[in-house]
Structure 1
Amino acid sequence: MRSSDEEVHQTVVESISVNAAAALDVPIEEKGSVPSAPSATIDGGVRAWLQVLGCWLVFFNVWGFTFSFGPFQSYYEINLMTNLSSSDVSWIGTVASYLLIVTGVLSGPWFDLGYYKVMLFGGATMSCFGLFMLSLSHQYYQILLTQGICMGLGCGLLYIPGLALVGRSFTRRRAMAMGIVTTGAPIGGIIYTITFDQAIESIGFAWTVRVMGFIMLGSYIIAFPLLLWGTANTGDIASGTPRKLLDKAAFKDMAFWMYTWANFFLFCGYLVPFFYIPTYAQLELNMSRSLSLYSIVIAQGVSVIGRLIASGAALRFGVMVPWLTCGTLSAVLCLAWIGVHTPTAFLAFAGLYGGFSGALIPLPPSIFPVVCPDPKVLGARLGMAQAIGATASLIGSPIAGALVGLGGHGYLGMQLWSGLVMLVGACLLLGLWIMLVKRRGCKTFI
């Protein structure tokens, strides 16, 4: 039974094109022979671990800044754009996260065709430019263009290719390398949130954003030589061939739809607490701005631990057990948020939610080779599933924001929305688990 699992996980490597890097983010260690990547395979060594460090710095910015939108949401609502609703403001962050994921569907094949260096410099330039232009922005449309669209597209060019580069550098220790890289996201969120908190009152919004811009620019300057110096695995224009982006047969595959809609409903609610925790803390609990922002830091810090524990559990019990457990508990915590009325309880909620929800990022792609065991269409189907999931990230937080204050019930509507949609996703996960067990025979732990 174990050997069949190893064969399934090897299909991830064979499908390194469309969203291949996401599929390579596997918390289960591969054993035995793994097919070589299209270009040079380094299989560890100093050169490969330098790429891990470089990609960690990329993740520090790409997802770290995205996860730090909560302070911006709070500042825009309370200080800069008081005439706008919570829903209007949240579109800025959700557009950025949506474009980050959707652009990855195209940047994966471009990486295969050898355009990594172009995307690396282009994406870094676009994201830094968007951040510095944000410091000059005052109107809603200006902020949406800079922080939402410009930074979203720039980060999208860096996300999938960076992980694909690391994936080509390892075979036996690929899971470990990917796990290290993904920790850059919450740590980046912590650093950017603390920077915002420490600088906003002393130097104002414009220079606070510029300080963030210099942090981003400096980390990219460090990352570039680590990623590119003496490397030969950045794609091959001569041998790289694009894969199809759409597999029509997937529309008839019930397991594909169960996986896709489970992820969709989970991600409709996943980002809601991260976006609204600071605002809720200040307006509902009368917490100071600084303490409310540090609740985000707590959530991000505990999420690092949560990802590591979930990966360890996946080694022992398979992916579905920790994925279903974390999805269900994240939904329950969002509903329990309704009963949180003191700062101490709120900080405990933030830590627990960060710990359990953090596992919802790396685990889903790990089970996808079981959902779709055919390596010829795995990349296309994973891209389709992630594109639909990205739409959930786009609409989830604005819908939650529109429910704030509805009927004079404060944040109740938002809390119910995030909890119930994630609970629907957890129920679909249970259905997917049962379906996969029946498909594979008597094996329960997948």
Structure 2
Amino acid sequence: MALEDKKGSDLDAHEHDIFAMVETQDSPTSPPAFIIDGGLHGCLQVLGAFLILFNVWGINFAFGTFESFYALTYIPSFTASSISWIGTIQSWLLIACGIFSGPLFDRGHYAVMLLSGSVLAVFGFMMLSLSHKYYEIFLSQGVCMGLGFGLLYTPSIALVSRSFTRRRALALGVATSGAPAGGIVYNVMFNQLILKTSFAWTVRIMGLVMLVLFTVAAVLLFSQRKAMENIDESRPRKLIDLRAFKDLPFWSFTLANLLIYLGYITPYYYIPTYAQTTLHTSQSLASYVLVISQASSIIGRVGTTCLAYYYGSMVSWILCALLSGILCLSWISANTLARFILYSAFYGGISGALVPLPPSVFSHVCPDSKSLGTWFGMAQSISSIASLTGPPIAGALASIGSRSSKNLNFLGIQLFGGITMILGAFELMLLWYLLRKTRDKKGIF
């Protein structure tokens, strides 16, 4: 759902992390320096961003399959908590690097970041194929790939956002749909290849696919060289605005987002492991349960967008956070394969909206539309701690009383994920109250 600020810029609900690096505000008298807004050039640009997000978030969404393989087969001597740090450091770097890649994008260096980020990501994947020890996997898959993804994610979204006006919502919706699509494809690839060849060649083949997609994306986006190197120096962007630290709604939003993200990502890391160790499914079937969850999240995002259109983003966000927490607690009773598949599908469908809804609410949190990007970037940087620490904390709780990753105490994971998301929902209710009192916001916005 698109929201308009006082100068007419629409900030779409699908634009996750866009505010952190783009603050384009169109003026009737001074149009943006470079607008595509449709046509062949616009389609090529959206397709290029789609392929980049296919790789960047697709590998992140597939980490649950890697986690299960590492814990049960490849490096079983390490705890689930230790292994989850590999994925969380990758996710954290992906988001946190936006603080630096955003300003570099504004200065017209996207082409350099596209090449260097792609090389880093593919190099990390190829080094992973040679890794046998924990620290080698951590450095290649966690740090190297995370840094490469961090140079690509934020600028790619910013490029599409800056180049469209009326069709921005549609363009971003198509581009960001590459994320769950990539998660499905890379999960299926790993699941099929690992049965027919070694881990090393499985990773190499996936890396080659990533290289091909990055190459195609580069060809498509280099055809938009003018848009890539366009520099807007009319409004220099600050990294930090000290006024936000004194604002109560800002902290309420940040705390709510942090609590929700502590629980939100955790089930995706442990769904395959639970299916294999507790329900005794095959590795292939366990991976497909995760695919079902990710596929349903695509449907869920569309449905909750419609809900937000009619009932407001604040109501939708509260309901999705509360229901996601309840569903995570209901995982406790999913002691058969049929129940677990049903839980995974519903959780993916409901929780998928927890990513696109926060930006649409934050436009009501920030009192100054000119500082919207800076404030949101600060809030996201603080909240990203949850992506870094959530799964390892859950894994540590699951390891209490267990002897190895093959007999984890999943009750700790289920309670941790459910309780944190429910607490986040209550914090959102407090945020709603604060906005009505301090920002004079009426209705359900």
Query: Given the two structures, how large is their TM-score scaled by the length of structure 2?
Result: 0.92
Matches within 5 A, 1:137-216: 137-216=131-210
Q: By how many angstroms is 1:83 displaced?
A: 0.7
State how far apart, in whole Å, the 2-side matches of 1:34 and 1:352 are.
45
Tell me the equivalent position of 1:436: 435
User: Out of 348, 360, 368, which is 1:366 matched to?
Assistant: 360
Q: By how many angstroms is 1:222 displaced?
A: 1.2
Q: By how many angstroms is 1:78 displaced?
A: 0.4
State how far apart, in whole Å, the 1-side matches of 2:76 and 2:236 are.
47
User: Out of 263, 272, 280, which is 1:286 matched to?
Assistant: 280
Tell me the equivalent position of 1:338: 332
Q: By how many angstroms is 1:6 displaced?
A: 2.9
User: Out of 379, 382, 385, which is 1:388 matched to?
Assistant: 382
Summarize the Cα distance change of 1:22–1:359 in structure 2 as closer, same or farther, 3 Å threshold: farther
Letter in 2 for 1:7: D
Show structure 2 runs of 5+ residues with no match.
Answer: 403-407
SS at 2:132's partner residue? Answer: coil
Deviations 1:35-71 (A, max 9, x none): 9775311222221121111101111011111110001
Equivalent pair of 1:11/1:375 in contact (CA under 8 Å): no
State how far apart, in whole Å, the 1-side matches of 2:37 and 2:9 are.
18
State how far apart, in whole Å, the 2-side matches of 1:320 and 1:206 are.
46
Q: Does 1:410 align with 2:404?
A: no
Q: By how many angstroms is 1:445 displaced?
A: 2.0
Q: By how many angstroms is 1:442 displaced?
A: 6.3
Letter in 1 for 2:410: Y
Equivalent pair of 1:96/1:153 in contact (CA under 8 Å): yes
Q: By how many angstroms is 1:391 displaced?
A: 0.8
Deviations 1:297-320 (A, max 9, x none): 001100011111112222222211
Deviations 1:66-112 (A, max 9, x none): 11000100000001111110000000000000000000121111100
Letter in 2 for 1:433: W
Deviations 1:103-159 (A, max 9, x none): 012111110000000000110110011001100000100000000000001001111
User: Out of 4, 9, 14, which is 1:6 matched to?
Assistant: 4
Matches within 5 A, 1:222-233: 222-233=216-227
Deviations 1:338-377 (A, max 9, x none): 1110000000111111111111111111221211131332
Deviations 1:392-431 (A, max 9, x none): 1000000000011424682111110111111111111111
State how far apart, in whole Å, the 2-side matches of 1:35 and 1:177 are.
25
Tell me the equivalent position of 1:314: 308
Deviations 1:196-231 (A, max 9, x none): 100102111000001110111111111112212044
Tell me the equivalent position of 2:70: 76
Tell me the equivalent position of 1:258: 252
Letter in 1 for 2:273: T
Equivalent pair of 1:258/1:431 in contact (CA under 8 Å): yes
Summarize the Cα distance change of 1:373–1:208 in structure 2 as closer, same or farther, 3 Å threshold: same
Structure 1, 89-98 or 201-210: larger mean CA deviation = 201-210
State how far apart, in whole Å, the 1-side matches of 2:132 and 2:19 are.
37
Q: By how many angstroms is 1:12 displaced?
A: 6.4
Equivalent pair of 1:197/1:290 in contact (CA under 8 Å): yes
Tell me the equivalent position of 1:133: 127
Letter in 2 for 1:184: G
Letter in 2 for 1:445: I
Matches within 5 A, 1:103-122: 103-122=97-116
Equivalent pair of 2:20/2:374 in contact (CA under 8 Å): no
Show structure 1 runs of 5+ residues with no match.
Answer: none
Letter in 2 for 1:85: T
Letter in 1 for 2:80: S
Letter in 1 for 2:182: G
Equivalent pair of 1:186/1:301 in contact (CA under 8 Å): yes
State how far apart, in whole Å, the 2-side matches of 1:348 and 1:181 are.
28
Summarize the Cα distance change of 1:235–1:426 in structure 2 as closer, same or farther, 3 Å threshold: farther
Q: By how many angstroms is 1:239 displaced?
A: 3.2
Summarize the Cα distance change of 1:197–1:316 in structure 2 as closer, same or farther, 3 Å threshold: same
State how far apart, in whole Å, the 2-side matches of 1:221 and 1:418 are.
38
Equivalent pair of 1:58/1:223 in contact (CA under 8 Å): yes
Q: Does 1:86 align with 2:80?
A: yes
State how far apart, in whole Å, the 2-side matches of 1:22 and 1:34 are.
24
State how far apart, in whole Å, the 1-side matches of 2:8 and 2:85 are.
38
Matches within 5 A, 1:22-61: 39-61=33-55
Equivalent pair of 2:57/2:183 in contact (CA under 8 Å): yes
Letter in 2 for 1:436: L
Tell me the equivalent position of 2:405: none
Equivalent pair of 1:24/1:178 in contact (CA under 8 Å): no
User: Out of 393, 403, 406, which is 1:399 matched to?
Assistant: 393
Equivalent pair of 2:180/2:298 in contact (CA under 8 Å): yes
Q: Does 1:296 align with 2:290?
A: yes
Q: By how many angstroms is 1:270 displaced?
A: 1.1
State how far apart, in whole Å, the 1-side matches of 2:29 and 2:125 are.
40
Letter in 1 for 2:161: G
Summarize the Cα distance change of 1:33–1:239 in structure 2 as closer, same or farther, 3 Å threshold: closer
Structure 1, 83-92 or 319-328: larger mean CA deviation = 319-328
SS at 2:163's partner residue? Answer: coil
Equivalent pair of 1:70/1:278 in contact (CA under 8 Å): yes
State how far apart, in whole Å, the 2-side matches of 1:220 and 1:369 are.
33
* Percent of matched pairs sharing the same residue: 49
Let me know the Cα RMSD of the aligned residues: 2.3
